[in-house]
Amino acid sequence: MGIRFDRLALRLGLPRPPLVPVVRLDGVIGRGGTLSQGGLTLAGLAPVLDRAFAMPGAKGVAFVVNSPGGSPAQSSLIARRIRDLSAAKNLPVTVFVEDVAASGGYWLALAGDEIVVDPASLVGSIGVIAAGFGFQDALRRLGIERRVHTAGERKSLWDPFLPEKPEDVARLSAIQADLHQVFQAHVTARRGAKLKAPPEVLFTGEVWVGLRAVELGLADAVGEIRSTMRARHGENVRLPLMNPPPKRRWWMWSRTASSGPSIGDFMDTIADRIERLRIGL
């Protein structure tokens, strides 16, 4: 409808209202596989990003971030594509944080030339986490034998069905340290002199509310998308949404006329809640 209106206005010689395409980055980053649907990946978002930056007459592109994090690689790839398109199209990027931009979610927020948060947003978590379970006693009680064969003595790492090994923990810690350094370097490169606290404060994995994030220089201002864009581009600014919010698949409610909830829906719900409860109120 908006594009048709623009074409009609152009034919009639009427001025077009200011336009700022909006892209939502909502959910866990990098989820995939048969038990997960959606999630944020570059492959899934690339067509949406291309459309947003190709909109005729756009004054910029706005992103709404609401993510507890996820894959470091996908966080980096998505943010890099946004920056590449911003440079290629010469369009500024403004990021608006809703509930949370933590860990990989904050990495996505760093793609913005400006980060705007709600006073109650949760921002930061500049760290790396690995969590799992140990099932070796359960297997023994059930009479199940674990069989793993590898070529390469370090092929297997942190197997949840075997007792935890100190050497595995040391290897995992080294990987986490390397990823943490990459994350810190990216934050420093993107925020630079805006940062108002030393690394030993900012890079501990701590999460802050929006107001405190602005004080620390992790964000630029407090606000929300409609009032901010209207103040900058006028009351008639159009904010077309390039992608709809993901469907919430709570297993107890995701029924159809012919079938009940699937195990995939249930697992998606559990995985999503685990990620969000790490930083939830």
Q: Is the dihedral of CA 84, 114, 276, 253 positive or negative?
A: negative
Strands 122-124 and 93-102: parallel
Residues whose CB is less than 8 angstroms from the CB of residue 257 and which lie 6 or more positions away in sequence, other chains included:
none
- Active site includes 89? no
List 67, 71, 75, 103, catalytic entry:
103
**What end-to-end distance do the CA atoms of the chain give, in Å?**
39
H or E element, residue 64: strand 61-67
Separation CA 74–CA 67 (nearest Å): 13
The answer to whether 268 and 262 are in contact (CB under 8 A) is no
Q: Which residues pair with 124 in a beta bridge?
A: 102, 207
Active site residues per annotation: 103, 155
